[in-house]
Structure formats: C-alpha cells, structure tokens
Structure 1
Amino acid sequence: MHAPSQAELLTLLSTGLAIVGLDGRVQWLNPALGEVLDVGPRTAVGQELTALMREPGLASQLTRTLSERRAFNLRGVTFGVARGREVTADLTMQPIDEDRILVEVHALAPDLTPGGTPLSATLRGFAHEVKNPLAGLRGAAQLLERRVVEEDLRQLASMVIGEADRLAALADGLLRHRGAARIGPVNVHELLERLEGLVGAEADAPRLRHDYDPSLPDSLGDTDRLLQVLLNLTRNAGEAGAETITLRTRVEHGARLGERTVRAALRVDVVDDGRGVPDELRDSLFQPLVSGRPDGTGLGLALSREIALEHGGDLRYTSHPGETVFSLYLPMERPHD
C-alpha cells in the first residue's frame, strides 16, 4: 500500500478547507467543506467563494488577507449556504503565496443540548486545539504497534490508537454542524467494563469496586461520549487523592431532569474516598476553566455536564471529605414517550 500524498491527506481531513485565488474563485475544496456548504468539491471549483458562503464581509476579508500577507481568525461567523440554510463557523484565512489563500472552516454545532443551550466557545476552542496533538499521538502509537514484539505492549499501543480515534471523533462532533450525538442502545455494565480496562492501564490507578443492579435494561445514548464522561469522573477522583472508586448503577423513579420529570432514569454513581470538592468551587464546579488543581484545565467537568444535558439527562454531585459522589442521570425513555 502506498503512503498517502499530501493532497490525499488534505482530502481526508475532517476540517473544511478551500484554496481561493486572487479573483476570489475556488481553486480547490475538500469534501469536508463541500458537506458544510452542500456543494460537490468539483462543482465548487471556479465559483466565487462569496457565492458559496454568503457573508457580507467575506470578500473584503479575503482581500485584506492577501494585501497584508498575514492570517486572520474570525470566530462565530454566520453565513448562508445552499437551500437557504445558515451555518455558524470559526474561519481562518491565511496566504499560501502571492495569489492564493487557504480558507479553513470549522462549522459549529448550533444547538447541542435539549434546552437549546449552545456549546460554550471555551469547549469549542478546546476541541479545535486538541485535534492536532491527537493526530500526532495516534501516529506515534501506530509506529509502536508495528515495531514492538511483546503482545502486551502491542495491546497497549492499540488501546492508545482507539482512544485517540474516540477523542478525535468527540472533538470533531463538537466542532461540526452535524455534531449531534449518535444515539443507540447502551449496555451500561459493558460500558463500565470498558472504563475499568482503561483506568486499570493507567499508572497508580485507584482500586475499582462494583455495586451494580444486574436487572438494568439497555439505555439510550452515545457510547463514546458517555465513556468520556465516566473517564473524566474517575480521573478527577484519582487526582483528588482517591484510593478506592466504587462504580454503582441504580434506577431512580420519578427523577427530575431539567424541566421535566421522567418515569425512570438510569443513575451511574462514581463514588470516591478522596479529598472532596473544595468549598470555594462548589457553586461553579461545572463552569469552564474552573479547576481545583493548579495545572488543571477546568474543561473536563464542563464538557461532562454538556454531554449529560445533550442526552436529556444531568450530572450532579454531593461531596464531603472521604466520600464524593458524582451521579450521571440518563432517562430510560425517549423524550416523546
């Protein structure tokens, strides 16, 4: 199998890209951007970009990019596309040479949560920044997988590749206009077994215990995103000094989730014996950039709650030193049931 060329790699990227000439016409466009604009890549060639992305200030911004010979970033720009749709995106325009501009388009999910709350700009920025390091991580793990002989090391490299793919898909889902969750049946105990495998592979991982309700039926959700929530919670517990984490599953009847009460909700508790949530963070714990650690990003819990809300559920906690419980609630019925 031949190694992909640079042009082939650009075509495969999930980031929308276009090359525009001095006359403002598209010289090349990749399938990802074609999907955003509802136009085929070949059809787009020769058309004015301003006809495909109807935004009044776009033409002058392209001219400015070439005249000043520097890149420009535009955040949260809304423009019209085919069939009367509107797209909101982050745009980057940078000169390639004297008469060509590379346009990068990151379409944003306009309405991720059931209540209509847009995904925060902080989390979108995080998703954008994490994609390139993930690609490098995946490539390094692939090299290791090919070169190591020991089977256990090959399995660890394969796990890194799988996790990099999952996180890249998560980041892409937060950035792209089709970022809705891929809802399907979820066996919560199989999900927790997968979580145990990942946590157990980490150095100095806390002990994991089970307290499961074996009678639970399958729930509905996006398996990868729910796994991300549970990983965030268990890692936070470890960073808070927990020696033991208990994973508990229950059914809660008559649960209040947002503005509605559901007949039954699946509750997954992550219980730890760590230091607990500091008093000064209790009212703002789920806000972006709020962290109890000097080196923390403050994005994990904010993202976790976004995902819970996206599923029509919630993420709550109770905490005191020696016992902190984070509870993920998921409705056991579809919203229209």
Structure 2
Amino acid sequence: MNELAWRTWAEQMATGLALVDGELCLRWLNPALVECLELGFRNAVGQPLGLLLDDADEGAAQAAKVLAEQRPTQWRGVALATADDRKLSADIALQPFGDGLLLEVHVLAEPPSTGSPLSATLRGFAHEVKNPLAGLRGAAQLLQRRVDSEDLQALAGMIIDEADRLGALANRLLHHDGAAQLGPVNIHRLLERLCDLLLAEPMPPQLRHDYDPSVPDLHGDADRLQQILLNLARNALEAGARTLTLRTRIEHGVRVGERMLRMALRVDVIDDGPGVPPALRDTLFQPLVSGRADGTGLGLALSREIAHEHGGELRYASRPGHTVFSLYLPLERTHD
C-alpha cells in the first residue's frame, strides 16, 4: 500500500495517528488525533513532535531512539498537550515508517473522581471497540450500495445505525465527563427498535407486546436506554429463552433507593428461559459476574449503572420458565 492509499485508510480510523519526519517534525495527523487534541491541522503540520506532548524533551528522546535503532517501542502513560489544557494521557506506539515514524496514540480518558471501577472498565472497553465499529460501518455501507434487494439494504442500514449509536456511546464514555445526552424519549419507539434488531437475527425469538398507550415521553438519554433494553433481551436469549414479552406500565409511589418517585415508568422484559442460577442471585448486577462461560459480566452491571444515572432502578424476579427484569424510570424530571 502506497502512502496516499494508506493515508486514505488511516483517515477513517478512530485511533489517533501521526506521521513524523526524520527531523522529528509532524508531517501528517489523522482527523481522530486532530479532534482529540483540538489542534488545527494546518497549524500542526511542520511543527516539532513536542507540540503533542507535555514533556517535549522526553518525546524527542524516545522518537530519536526509535529512528536510530529502527525498532518499534511502546510508550505508556504519556501526558498529552491539548489546545484547551485538558489533562489527557495516552499509550503511544512508535514505529519506523519510511524515513520517519508512525505514532499510534491511544488516549486514556481519566475517569471522574467519583466514578466507579465499572466506569473505568467500560472506558477501556469503549476504546477497544471503536476501530472494529468503524470497519463494520464501512462494510455495511459498501453492502448497502451493492445489493439490489430493498430488504437487504434495510438490514445494512440497520447495521449502520447501530454502529453509529454504539460509536456515539463509546465516544461519550471516552469523553472527559461522559455526560448523558438528555432529551424527550418515547419508550415504545425504543422497544420497537429493539424488536427490529431481534427479528433481524438468524434465529429470532417470538415477541409479544403488552404496552400501556398512555405512557408519556420521559426525560433521558435514548441511546443509553436503548442499550439497557438490548442488554436485557440479549441476556435472556443467550440464556436459552425463546419467547420475550415487552410490557410497559405506569406506577405511582415507587421507592428507588432513598427517593420516592411520585410517578414512574416500569418496563418489563419477560422471558421463558431457565431463570437466574441461585448462585448468582446476590451478585448478578456486579461487574464481571456472568452465568455463561463466554460471558463478560458487563451487560447487567452497565444496565443498572445507566438506570441509576437516570434516577431509576433495575430489578428482577426469576423462576424457571419465567424471569422478569423491570426497569423503573422517573416520569418527572430529576434535578441534581
């Protein structure tokens, strides 16, 4: 692959990339790195490598060593210099590239001081999935252009939409504060989107609906709430359920932690699977706890964290053949 073709490919990458010449000056940066550091591309090109780094002398020494020895190296926990003086650090891979160097900059967003260990884990996970998501989206775009079937085009469009949604979630987890993007949310729209995704799978489940049409819009982050619903449904199917019932109700006087919600939305995901194993019932929502050998144990922990973020709660009741996960969300706006 020549350099022009390589740059075209690299511009689509979510990982920050930079080319440095033999004089240790920046020759090119991809959009991901420019956006992360909030640099102007034209102003950065031609500047010393130290422009990107908090410790310019150490960066020059590391780069000069790689150039001299022509061997790649990994540089851990490097403090980056940003245009707005944010505190960012990164792992940087340096490797010879032509007559200069290629830098791969993997930014490590620092979790908020009050953040949970789960949040830190999810940030790491979010970082790892961004590049595969970009590749998945690109492949779906190509497929959408090349097929004639409207059904296949719609399926490819669904993949693109989900890749965009997950990419946005990953970006917000990697952002400095990871704040939710709040606005009006129609829960039935999210449930119908969930059904579309499940019915597109090779062995779709049987789906039943029991909606309360009087449920009003709630105030929340649609992408994150969609993630809860996906996690609950996928957990049920991977545990062996073949039928899912999606139910919505309005409840009054619901206690969530130390708060009493005057009016709450309850969303139930009911499955006919084998139920939650007794050994997991007390720890089910903890990170890295899973009932499957190939499970990550992050889905339910993330789901409860998102519910708490919305001022709500996630609960369950289970027996063989009938498990109900209930998501409670306030229907009055919560205030920090």
> What is the TM-score when the length of structure 2 is the normalising length?
0.82
Distance in 2 between residues matched to 1:128 and 1:48, nearest whole Å: 27
Shift of 1:256: 4.3
Q: 1:220 to 1:8 in 2, by over 3 A?
A: farther
Counterpart position of 1:301: 300
8 Å Cα contact 2:15/2:104 also seen in 1: no
Higher mean alpha-carbon deviation, 254-263 vs 198-207, is at 254-263
Distance in 2 between residues matched to 1:186 and 1:271, nearest whole Å: 22
Q: 1:148 to 1:55 in 2, by over 3 A?
A: same
Counterpart position of 1:331: 330
Counterpart position of 1:180: 179
8 Å Cα contact 2:92/2:103 also seen in 1: no
Gaps spanning 5+ residues in structure 1: where? Answer: none
Match of 1:69 among 57, 71, 84: 71
Describe the SS at the equivalent of 1:72: strand
8 Å Cα contact 1:111/1:119 also seen in 2: no
Higher mean alpha-carbon deviation, 226-235 vs 252-261, is at 252-261
Describe the SS at the equivalent of 1:42: helix
Shift of 1:200: 1.6
Higher mean alpha-carbon deviation, 181-190 vs 45-54, is at 45-54
Quick check: 1:40 aligned with 2:69?
Answer: no
8 Å Cα contact 2:111/2:119 also seen in 1: no
Counterpart position of 2:111: 110
Q: 1:60 to 1:302 in 2, by over 3 A?
A: farther
Q: Percent identity?
A: 61
Counterpart position of 2:272: 273
Distance in 1 between residues matched to 2:310 and 2:70, nearest whole Å: 46
Gaps spanning 5+ residues in structure 2: where? Answer: none
Q: 1:79 to 1:305 in 2, by over 3 A?
A: farther
Counterpart position of 1:54: 54
Aligned length: 331
Quick check: 1:167 aligned with 2:166?
Answer: yes
The amino acid that maps onto 1:110 is P
Distance in 1 between residues matched to 2:194 and 2:312, nearest whole Å: 20
CA RMSD of the aligned region, Å?
3.2
Shift of 1:189: 0.8
Distance in 1 between residues matched to 2:9 and 2:256, nearest whole Å: 44
> What is the TM-score when the length of structure 1 is the normalising length?
0.82
Distance in 1 between residues matched to 2:283 and 2:266, nearest whole Å: 22
Distance in 1 between residues matched to 2:279 and 2:55, nearest whole Å: 44
Shift of 1:195: 1.0
8 Å Cα contact 2:14/2:134 also seen in 1: no
Counterpart position of 1:96: 97
8 Å Cα contact 1:108/1:175 also seen in 2: yes
Q: 1:5 to 1:183 in 2, by over 3 A?
A: farther
Q: 1:23 to 1:117 in 2, by over 3 A?
A: farther
Shift of 1:55: 5.0
Describe the SS at the equivalent of 1:171: helix
8 Å Cα contact 2:26/2:44 also seen in 1: yes
Describe the SS at the equivalent of 2:201: coil
8 Å Cα contact 2:118/2:287 also seen in 1: no
Shift of 1:78: 5.3
The amino acid that maps onto 2:147 is V
Counterpart position of 1:27: 27
